[in-house]
Structure 1
Amino acid sequence: MTGIKENLQKIKSSLPEHVTLVAVSKTKPVSDLQEAYDAGQRVFGENKIQEMVTKYDELPKDIQWHMIGHLQRNKVKYMAHFVHLIHGVDSFKTLQEIDKQAKKHNRVINCLLQARIAKEDTKFGLPFNKIEEILASDELKELKNIKIVGLMGMATFTENQEQLQDEFSSLASFFNKNQEKYPNLTTLSMGMSGDYELAIENGSNMVRIGSSIFGVRNYIA
């Protein structure tokens, strides 16, 4: 059985230079993250704020922490002093809360707007027209402590490559169109362990990979 270091090296060697690897470490013990850190990984993604806070306290401080799960506004305050990038922003109210909490720490927090591209009902995210409304709004200009740096999308959990291709390419094309208007949009976060290669082919420059690095996830009741 290959270890975390070997898995990381294999994945990193397969990624183009311009693609950022977010090691999705949710439910994994600190020892696993430390092993990945020792192998050179510095970007980690968590989907629960409390778990990320605990790991932040225990691990080296040069780690970039990405919040990749659905965001509860009332918990933003717990990570506002250190989070590097928030992936799943799907409402203007959430942006306002992030801005409010970032201001308390004299920080500007980078955010990705989550686009809804999957055909499943369980996925969060904004339709494209709502994203355009937010990007063009005067209210956004008033938020000085957040910066929208890109978009994120989660494809349908399916083996159907044509469907995945359609979902990824639709978001990539929308991203490219808006990048011309908003130069701050530099990050397109698409692709996980099962579909990241196709996501990269479609323009993703940030992939969120967990099980292919750390092994099958342990879900604790």
Structure 2
Amino acid sequence: MAVNTEAYQTVKQELDAKQVTLVAVSKTKPVEDIVELYDSGHRDFGENYVQELVDKQAALPKDIRWHFIGHLQSNKVKYIAPFVQLIHGVDSLKLLKEINKEAGKNNRIIDVLLQVHIAQEETKFGLNEEELNLIIQEFENLKMTNVRVCGLMGMASFSDDLEKVRSEFRYLKMLFNKSADKFTIHPSPFTILSMGMSGDYKVAVEEGSTMVRIGSLLFGARNSSK
């Protein structure tokens, strides 16, 4: 299935009206599909795999804003540091330090989000509230100059129980508000709350999301071979 342009226009208009950024999740999708959405005016695309992102970035227009939304290993940061727009899934101080180091090598400041574990599923990555507070404190103490913490990211439980999903998003929004108050030294624009995907983005927006990551609604079901 190629891009569902009708669904894209509907979702984009809905999100634009609420000043929510749409990240089109293009992982496992061919370059042709990304070009089709690009030609519709879209610029924010999200990828989960480092090599796939590197290959696509080389092949596609340079004004695309690439978001890395997967679990990022420290030893892979160097490959995306020259161009990545936003790294969504920072879940350790070690990773934050590595991003700062590689950003410095590329004379860049890289924007990141801290990933919080809000789902009742052990398979999801992320920080708990105590770990989140510690990483913010350490970030302030270390005064990293090539990385900006711009907000939080979280994934709700994969569930049909939307009230359960809503409560998880509500909890993340509470942490987001508390975390924003803790940044006293670094002038980070702590304004991004990345939560919500194809199946739950409407609930996420209702609970305060400023950025959603949508793939299957726009591109169809993902290629399960990847």
What TM-score, normalized to structure 2? Answer: 0.93
CA distance in 1, matches of 2:202, 2:105: 39
1:220 matched to 2:225: yes
Corresponding residue for 1:181? Answer: 182
Q: By how many angstroms is 1:177 displaced? A: 2.0
What displacement does 1:6 show?
A: 1.8
In structure 1, how many angstroms separate the alpha carbons of the residues matched to 2:217 and 2:73? 27
The answer to whether structure 1 residue 61 and structure 2 residue 66 are counterparts is: no
Query: Cα gap change, 1:140/1:71 in structure 2, threshold over 3 Å: closer, same or farther?
Result: farther
Identity %: 55
Root-mean-square deviation (CA, aligned residues, Å) is: 1.5
Is the contact made by 1:24 and 1:208 (CA closer than 8 Å) also made in structure 2?
Answer: yes
Q: What corresponds to 1:38 in structure 2?
A: 39
1:17-32 matches, cutoff 5 A: 17-32=18-33
What amino acid is aligned across from residue 78 of structure 1 in structure 2?
A: Y
Query: How far off its partner does 1:4 sit?
Result: 2.9
SS of 2:194 mapped into structure 1: strand
On the 8 A contact 1:45/1:66 being kept in 2, the answer is yes
- Tell me if the contact between 1:87 and 1:113 (Cα under 8 Å) persists in the aligned partners: yes
Partner of 1:90: 91
What does residue range 146-185 of structure 1 map to in structure 2 within 5 Å?
146-182=147-183, 184-185=189-190
- The CA deviation string for residues 135-163 of structure 1, in whole angstroms up to 9 with x for no partner, is 12266543111110000000000001111
Match in the other structure for 1:74: 75
Name segments (4+ residues, structure 1) moved above 2 Å: 1-5, 137-142, 180-184
User: What residue ranges of structure 1 are gaps of 5+ in the alignment?
Assistant: none
What corresponds to 2:5 in structure 1? 5
Q: What does the per-residue CA deviation read over 1:16-62, in whole Å, with 9 as the maximum and x for residues that have no partner?
A: 34100000000000000000000111000000011011000011000
- Rounded to whole Å, the distance in 1 between the matches of 2:77 and 2:180 is 27
Task: Find the residue that maps to 2:107 and give its secondary structure.
Answer: coil
Between 178-187 and 99-108, the greater mean CA deviation after superposition: 178-187
Trace 1:112-123 onto structure 2 (pairs within 5 A). 112-123=113-124
Cα distance, 1:101 vs structure 2: 0.8
Once residues 138 and 34 of structure 1 are traced to their aligned partners in structure 2, the CA distance between those partners, rounded to angstroms, is: 38
Could you say if the C-alpha distance between residues 2 and 66 of structure 1 is closer, same or farther in structure 2, counting changes exceeding 3 Å? closer
Tell me, yes or no, if the aligned pair for 1:134 and 1:140 is still in contact at 8 Å. no
Deviation string for 1:99-126 (max 9, x for gaps)? 1111110000000000010000100000
Work out the CA distance in 2 between the residues paired with 1:65 and 1:152.
16
